[in-house]
Structure 1
Amino acid sequence: MAHTPVNHPARPVYRAIGGLVGLYFVLFGVIGLIASAGNDVLAQDDTKALGQGTNLGFSLLSIVLGAVILLGVVIGRNLDVAINQWLSYALMALGLAELAFLQTDANIFNFSIMTVVVVLTLAMVLLMAGMYGKVGTDEEKEAWQKARLVL
């Protein structure tokens, strides 16, 4: 992808931001797991964690997503870039789908409007971290700069 910066000077910062998003998902999932203990997996009730609607299913999903993001950050080698980009697209789709089904029985993860806002915001932050975290050789950086200057 010629439009993705290679060896951006702030890539360690963006990698750390991706790690913070992963930590947030793990923290939210653990708190949601504690709050929804004893409920059905896809219960639609008033369970909240950090001010957001959740249930056991979304709490478990959050822990898994956060762990995958953190694993990508630890491994690096552009694996974090791929994970951050693809998970951000998946989170955007999830947030928009849950927004569409917010007041219906199809709200399987018990989202509230605050949960939708947080998920979509974190998806955008994760996408930003994925776009600016790419590492490459000097030749790839040079090719990216030449392509950027042509545009």
Structure 2
Amino acid sequence: MAHTPVNHPARPIYRAIGGIVGLYFVVFGGLGVIASAGGDFFAQDDTKVLGQGTNMAFSLVSVLVGVVILVGTAIGRNLDVAINQWLAYTLMVIGLGSLAFLQTDVNIFNFSIMTDVVVLTLALVLLMAGMYSKVGSDEEHEAWQKARLVL
């Protein structure tokens, strides 16, 4: 994409931000596994971790998402860009879908409104990190600069 920055000067900072989001998901998921141990997998109860509703299913999904983000961040080479962007879009779909079914029996991840706010915010931060972390050759950087400056 011509509008996605290549070799952005703040690329290391955005890559670190993506790693921090992954770390948050791992910590939240780990605490969620501990808090929801012994309950139903898709329990819809008052289990809360860091002020957010969760159950065993969402806790395990959070750990998986966090580990995938961290692995992508560690490998780099634009793999982190693809992972961050795809997971950001997936988290947005999950967040908006769960927002639609928040007060119903379809709320399989036991989301609360705070969980939705956090998931959607982290999805946007992850998308931003993915869009500004792209690495490319000098020719790709020049092409991006020229496309950016065309009015």
Q: TM-score, normalised by structure 2?
A: 0.99
Give the residue type in structure 1 aligned to 2:136.
G
Q: Which runs of 5+ in 2 are unaligned?
A: none
SS for the counterpart of 1:120 is helix
Aligned match of 2:110: 110
Question: CA-to-partner distance for each residue in 1:102-144, whole Å, 9 max, x for gaps?
Answer: 0000000000000000000000000000000000000000000
What CA distance in whole angstroms lies between the structure 2 residues aligned with 1:95 and 1:20?
19
Q: How many residues align?
A: 151
What CA distance in whole angstroms lies between the structure 1 residues aligned with 2:71 and 2:39?
29
Aligned match of 2:120: 120
Give the residue type in structure 2 aligned to 1:35.
A
What CA distance in whole angstroms lies between the structure 2 residues aligned with 1:39 and 1:48?
13
Aligned match of 2:10: 10
**Cα RMSD for the two superposed structures:** 0.4
Q: Percent identity?
A: 79
Aligned match of 2:37: 37
Cα distance, 1:36 vs structure 2: 0.1
Runs of 4+ in 1 over 6 A off after TM superposition: none
Cα distance, 1:11 vs structure 2: 0.2
What CA distance in whole angstroms lies between the structure 2 residues aligned with 1:3 and 1:42?
41
What CA distance in whole angstroms lies between the structure 1 residues aligned with 2:40 and 2:26?
20
What CA distance in whole angstroms lies between the structure 2 residues aligned with 1:94 and 1:60?
15
